[in-house]
Amino acid sequence: MRDDLLAAVVRYNTPLDESATVRGLLRAFAEEPWLCGRIRVVVCDNSTDALSPEAVPAGWDYCHMPRNLGIAGAYNHALHTAEAEGRRWLLTLDQDTDVTTDYLAGMCRHAAEVGERAAIAAIAPTITAAGMVASPKRRGVAGELQYPAGECGMAEDEAVVINSGAALRVSALAGIGGYSYAFWLDFSDMYVFHEFHRRGWKVWRAADVSLEHEMTVMDYAGRMRPARLRNMLEAESAFYDLYRSPMENVLHNLQLLGRAVKQRVKYASPEFSRMAWSQLTYRLRSSRAERLQRWQAGAAARMDGTGQAGGA
């Protein structure tokens, strides 16, 4: 089993030379050529139009995925590639993370240190967004809690980790059946790490390795679009219905109410507020079984090509 990493970069309608992730990888490989021998890159392209071969950096693999099954489709393709090549780790990256040389070197170091510890399903660096720690966090009943700063080692309790920047043990990810096509875009990482936790697998906190990441969910004024918010709200609702307790579902409804009020006050357009309110009223007027039936029907339609897809 090889401890080097397969880095999967998900592209969506962005030129590679405008991707912060791609620029960071190329800069790091130029600064520390030894990284090229430890990290192989595959670009999983969910864009409508394929790239020309000359647009892909030399030595990188490229797969055009015009059907666009989102994050799940891209990372599952990379998972199968990593399995076929006998690699131990899959490094999951999106296209807008500020990848640095120190980050890549640190992830290689941690991957080698914990490679033989099969109970560790993932390595999670410290991800910051807008100056705040976004990942990893510890699951709490009423919300997510911060871990002690700078403390490497096993994450206590259930770790909440975002996709971008994490390294997943290939055997563990394959053991849960890969990414869920139901959570094809939003909450894809929540699903994976919850499944790891359910099986008793652990997350290793690489707290001395950090990255800055742009998160759509934290930028309603700029990056967030109504279609993306609708998908996020639906995925969030389904995740709570499937994996959270009745009390946590009540708290989630209260959170939706709080968002609807906050977003109506904060933003000139009432659209985001209306969507939060609409999701809340839908949850209050429908049963859990009805909501999950509708969610599963949407996932099936997306898989057979009759539903809508877009984004990532």
Over residues 134-159, mean pLDDT: 91
Q: Write out pLDDT tens, residues 204-261.
A: 999 999 998 775 554 555 556 778 888 899 999 999 999 999 999 999 999 999 999 9
* pLDDT at res. 150: 86
Q: Which amino acid is at 96?
A: D
| DSSP E strand boundaries for the chain | 2-11, 39-45, 61-64, 87-93, 120-129, 132-135, 137-140, 143-146, 153-154, 159-160, 167-169, 202-212
Q: Which residues of 178-217 are buried (b: 16+ CB within 10 A; e: fewer)?
A: bbbbbbbbbbbbbbbbbbbbeeebbbbbbbebbbbbbbbe
Q: What is the pLDDT of residue 140?
A: 84
Q: Beta partners for 159? A: 138
Res. 266: pLDDT tops 70: yes
- DSSP annotation of 94: -
3-class SS at 254? helix
DSSP state of 97: B
Tell me which architecture the domain covering 2-216 has in CATH. Answer: Alpha-Beta Complex (3.90)
Crossing angle of helices 271-285 and 246-266, rounded to 10°: 160
Mean pLDDT, residues 54-62 taken together: 95
Predicted pLDDT at 216: 56
Tell me the average pLDDT of the chain: 91
Q: Can you give the pLDDT at residue 191?
A: 98
Q: Which of 130, 135, 134, 111 is nearest to 122 (CA)?
A: 111
pLDDT over 80 at 54, yes or no? yes
**Type of residue numbered 1:** M
Residue 1's pLDDT band (boundaries 50, 70, 90)?
low
For residue 300, the tally of other CB atoms under 10 A from its CB is 13
**pTM of full prediction above 0.85:** yes
Q: In what order do the strands lie in the sheet with 159-160?
A: 143-146, 137-140, 159-160
- Strand-pair partners of 120: 202
Mean pLDDT, residues 189-216 taken together? 92
Q: Where are the domains of the chain?
A: 2-216, 219-303
Report pLDDT for 139.
Answer: 94
Largest CA distance in the chain: 58
